[in-house]
Amino acid sequence: MLSFPTTLSNLPEIIDGLPNISGWETEVLSVVNHNQPVFLPTTNIRLENVNAVFAIALHMHQPTIPAGNGGTLISNLQYMFEHPNEGDNHNAHPFAHCYSRMGDLIPELVSQGCNPRVMLDYSGNLLWGLRQMGRSDVIDNLKRITCVSVREASPSGEAPPSEARTYQPYVEWLGTMWGHAVIPSTPIADIKLHIIAWQHHFAAIFGWEALARVKGFSPPEMHLPNHPDALFEFVKALKECGYRWLLVQEHSVETINGQSLTHKHLPHRLVARNSQGETISITALIKTQGSDTKLVAQMQPYYEAKTLSKQQIGSVFVPPIVSQIGDGENGGVMMNEFPSAFKQAWWDMVNNDGGKSGVIGVCGTEYLELIEAAGCKPEEYPTCQPVGQHQIWERVSSDNCQPEAVENAIQELKQINSNFHLDGASWTNHISWVKGYENVLSPMYQLSSLFHQKFDLLQQVNSAEPVTRQSDYRNVLLHNLLLQTSCFRYWGQGAWTDYAREIYKRGESSLKTIF
């Protein structure tokens, strides 16, 4: 078990009817910023016995919308339950089951002698919405595989008291943006607010020890910023919040020379360089290109890993990793086919030393800790940067890296290449999160600006109590983060953009009331 300050008390999950997303920043950062191994003490994998590995992550999200009684904020999942005859809302029950079912599948497979692995990515919106709906059964089932000790049953059915353990290393949670905001178009000042809000909320639900184990990050929509300053601030915020690695889409990055990746099944070092010439880096696992949900639902990463063999990092030969993420609930293939395919893959692996040799599943942090314990050094990983940045840096002299020079390079590129943009890249490149959504983006940036003008100044002059622990602050922060939810720029103009305008009005009104 990880060690962290023993003086920390449990966090309240709901405060004045709102999710706990702020107020304990010092405590959160004290827990997440550690270098202790997370998986090495519990992993049952010996790297020398492994040829190749795969890692799958399930992404779960439901937006928060002002559509409850009297326009109250509720989960879209609750709206689906209450309006079953609209669109695809008949899927509300299957969706809710999907949010819960890993709490059953993992214990079942472990009891059968399998060695399963899964990574979970749940937005803050969804976690709050489940609690709002009274679906504590879903959250309790997730707690079962996250933080509750269980006892290993003996062949006689009895549970020897000496064999108590948790469901580690079978499950890894990934951090994300609390409000499911796509990072390239999120106000830079709010990126860290989303990250640490999710950490607050997760710790309040699952506890400090569970939070201390969250070391990987999953960007919503796999959307990676490619503007130099936005990327730098994103990576800086991740590292300040204790993250060691993030998942990135294969085609959202390039080599430092601007080429496609040639070692996509190895971890990379994502390099961020800003317009001041400062650099920072973080480890990235590459999510390979493909039809994401279908690939995960049919466990394709396992079968792809079977075609691979060990590769070299520095002087060490390591098993390559096939990384994939998909919606954990969306689409018939995930709702209906995934459970049987998931089970079948682990049953297949159990024939190889209980699923511990040959081709096996891992969690992301587990894999990185294993290969680094074997001698790999992160600075020896292949390097990458967001797609399009090579074109910028070949126009900016290394001894003249100034904001003006970078901006001139960007404007030149936009003039000579109509396809060049700094909107970032994601797994939905056929959709723009910016074009056509000025009626959402303008209020979004306006509310963020007002929020920071008011509270940043107040925080400087009020040292008696953290401003972030005050209910007024938390309420406006909530509306600020909710307005940045990607769904308001995904479903087109109409009801969803109307929801965004309503959230803006309430956030602005709250600010005026406070000040």
Which residues lie closer than 8 Å to 105 by C-beta, 6 or more apart? 116, 339, 342, 343
**What would the pLDDT profile of 5-21 be if each residue is shown by its tens digit?**
667 899 999 999 999 99
d(Cα 307, Cα 211) in Å, to the nearest integer? Answer: 35
Q: Which stretches within 306-422 are classed as H helix?
A: 332, 338-349, 364-373, 389-393, 403-416
- Tell me, yes or no, whether 297 lies in a domain: yes
Q: Note down the domain range covering 155.
A: 34-386
Q: Determine how many CB atoms are found less than 10 A away from the CB of residue 348.
A: 16
In a domain, 22, yes or no: no
**One domain, residues 379 and 445:** no
Angle at the Cα of 83 from the Cα atoms of 77 and 84, rounded to 5 degrees: 90
Instruction: Tell me: do 365 and 459 sit in the same domain.
Output: no
Does residue 376 sit in the same domain as residue 478?
Answer: no
Q: Please write the tens of the pLDDT for every residue from 37-59.
A: 999 999 999 999 999 999 999 99
- Residues 144 and 258 placed together within one structural domain of the fold: yes
Q: Are residues 307 and 450 in the same domain?
A: no
Q: Please report whether residue 179 resides in a domain.
A: yes
Note the pLDDT of residue 331.
80
CATH number, position 228: 3.20.20.370
208 and 356 assigned to the same domain: yes
For position 433, what pLDDT does the model report?
40
Q: What is the pLDDT of residues 172-223, one digit of tens each?
A: 999 999 999 999 989 999 999 999 999 999 999 999 999 999 999 999 999 8
**Cα–Cα distance measured from residue 146 to residue 454, given in angstroms and rounded to the nearest whole number:** 38
Confidence of residue 338 (pLDDT cuts 50, 70, 90): very high
Establish if 6 belongs to a structural domain: no
Q: Which is higher by pLDDT, 290 or 446?
A: 446
Indicate whether 430 belongs to any domain: no
Is residue 54 within 8 A of residue 302, CB to CB? The reply is yes
454 in the same domain as 367: no
**Do 201 and 192 contact (CB within 8 A), yes or no?**
no
142-169 tens-digit pLDDT: 999 998 554 443 334 444 333 335 798 9
Same-domain status, 232 and 141:
yes
Among 345, 361, 386, the domain boundary falls at 386
Distance CA 212, CA 337 (A): 33
Indicate whether 446 and 380 sit together in one domain.
Answer: no
Alpha carbons within 13 angstroms on the beta-carbon side of residue 119 total 30
Residue 290 banded pLDDT, cuts 50, 70, 90: low
Q: Is residue 455 part of a domain?
A: yes
359 — phi, psi (to 5°)?
-110, 120
Residues 382 and 473 in one domain: no
pLDDT band at 459 (very low <50, low <70, confident <90, very high): low
Residue 507 banded pLDDT, cuts 50, 70, 90: very high
